[in-house]
Chain A
Amino acid sequence: MDDSLSDIICYQLKKMLPLLCTIVLILLMYTPFHFPLSKFLRPDVAMICIYFWTLYRRDLFGLFSVAFLGVVADSLGLVPLGVNIFVFVVIYVMSISYGWFVNTKPFAVSWTGFAVISFAAFVVKWFLMSIYYSCFLSVLGIFSGYIVTVLIYPLIARLNIFVQNKFLASDEVIYEQR
């Protein structure tokens, strides 16, 4: 009985691992760094994780996880509630729609794919925020955030690959390629 219960807990935890890893990375990004320009050099790791897990482990990372991450990001930050939820869903939908193109290609292609999708996501976020505040937000700070997010993608992707290979490789679901 105990064994089966621990198995169930273990299985559920495994299923939640991508979500938990993403939450930990989001929280890490809120740590005060105290270095110059730290306000503009914070990557949006949630975008990276959503793109990565949607591409490679959609079975463990559904729309609910994406929406939940949006609520977490909106609650921790000062952006209006709903902005991050919407942006994350946009990334999720785009990753599903265009992910087949990059899924089996070399890492550089997946990175380029992320650069394109995250650019669209940043533009959508900028647009939503500009509407909310009825003025255009400064593009420079947002653009630097985008650049840092794209540049840090390999590092976060490697971390996610490690989690995947170490803990989730045994029950991998291979998606049919279109």
Chain B
Amino acid sequence: MLMMLSKADTYVLNKTTGMISATLSPIIRIMQFPAQMVYLGYEKARDIIKVYSQNKQLREENIKLMILKNKVRTLEAENRLLGEMLNYISLPEAAYITAKVVAEEGDGFSHSLIVYVGDENRVYKDQVVMSDESVVGRVENVNGKYARVILITDINSKIPIIIERNRERAILSGDNTLIPKLLYTSLSTDIKEGDIVVTSGVAGVFPVGLPIGTVKNISKEKIEIVPMADIERLEFVKIVDYGIYHDVMNFSQENKEK
């Protein structure tokens, strides 16, 4: 019965479980310090071992990035110019807060995080959560100074996406494994291994064009996507506010009323 009630998204149940979660999260936060110390020591030792090879790799990467930076600057200028010519209204700049991962839930049944967000008014439901480079999930609920994040690998996660190369649309669905799958792709789809998957912006929760992952395995039954972010090693996440969520919600509410 409780399961059915929670499926109906009852306010009282959500509030109660949220309250328990918010009460216990600070304890987990304190308890993780010893584990954190062990992990930091391990990371430090690993970094020292790898420092020379990493340095060489970074120098090479830096040269590539300098070339890329010049290209991006030229493209940005060109894009701005073309936008002005077409009277294009661009999306607002994103603001974000960085939140520390306090607790991690992960097994075959669900994949989520609890993050410390501090001031509760800064974060709201369905905000985009990113690692350094790509989308890792969305905010499910905020309880006091803590927020629960549903990861893109969780079975509850369904994200409208497009393939960057050919703008093919699909839904990225988590299934409690580390490799989410694509749903609702057309039979004649032209998706290739290595294609980059980005958010499509449909439904208004995620803005357009945020990178998520790359296509890995394509078979008749499924298309697998490897997330760009290392989902298993998230220490900090960025909770991004594009300022469009409330506008989209208001817009759809107004349309419903009409």
Contacts and interface: CB of A to CB of B under 8 A. Distances in A.
Contact of A138 (B21, B104, B175, B235): B175
Interface size on B, as a range, is 35 or more
A112 interface: no
A72 B28 CA distance: 13
Contacts, number: 136
B120 to A, nearest CB: 18
Given A39-B231, A138-B177, A33 B110 contact: no
Contacts of A39: 106-107, 111, 153, 178, 231-232
B17 A143 contact: no
Contacts of B50: none
Interface stretch (B31-39, B186-194, B199-207): B31-39
Contacts of A83: 3, 109
A38 interface: yes
Nearest to B16: A75
Given A76-B21, A137-B108, A31 B232 contact: no
A140 B103 contact: no
B13 A81 contact: yes
A34 interface: yes
A46 to B, nearest CB: 12
Given A30-B103, A30-B104, A81-B6, A137 B109 contact: yes
Contacts of A40: 106-108
B155 interface: yes
Contacts of B140: 78
A78 B148 contact: yes
B3 A32 contact: no
B150 interface: yes
Interface in B11-32: 13, 16-18, 20-21, 24, 27-28, 31-32
B196 to A, nearest CB: 24
B175 A137 contact: yes
B28 A31 contact: yes
Interface string A110-134: 0000000000000001101100110
A33 B31 CA distance: 12
B134 to A, nearest CB: 17
A31 B25 CA distance: 10
Given A80-B3, A145-B107, A35 B232 contact: yes
A3 to B, nearest CB: 31
Contacts of B114: 30, 76
**Max count, chain A CB within 10 A of own CB: residue among B16, B106, B107, B178:** B107
A64 B172 CA distance: 41
A142 interface: yes
B35 A76 contact: no
Nearest to A149: B107
B112 interface: yes
Contacts of A76: 20-21, 24, 103, 105, 114
A71 B103 contact: no
A75 B32 contact: no
Given A140-B177, A141-B176, A142-B108, A75 B21 contact: yes
A34 B233 contact: yes
Contact of B39 (A34, A36, A79, A125): A34
B176 A30 contact: no
B22 to A, nearest CB: 9
Contacts of A85: 2
For the complex of A and B, list the 9 residue pairs with the smallest distance between their C-beta atoms, beginning with the closest.
A82-B2, A141-B108, A142-B108, A39-B106, A75-B20, A78-B110, A30-B103, A75-B17, A32-B104
Given A30-B103, A44-B107, A79-B110, 11 more contacts: A27-B24, A27-B28, A31-B32, A32-B234, A33-B39, A76-B105, A77-B110, A78-B156, A83-B109, A126-B109, A137-B175
19 contacts: A27-B31, A28-B31, A30-B105, A31-B28, A31-B31, A32-B35, A38-B104, A39-B231, A40-B106, A72-B24, A77-B105, A77-B112, A79-B110, A81-B6, A82-B6, A83-B109, A138-B108, A139-B108, A143-B108
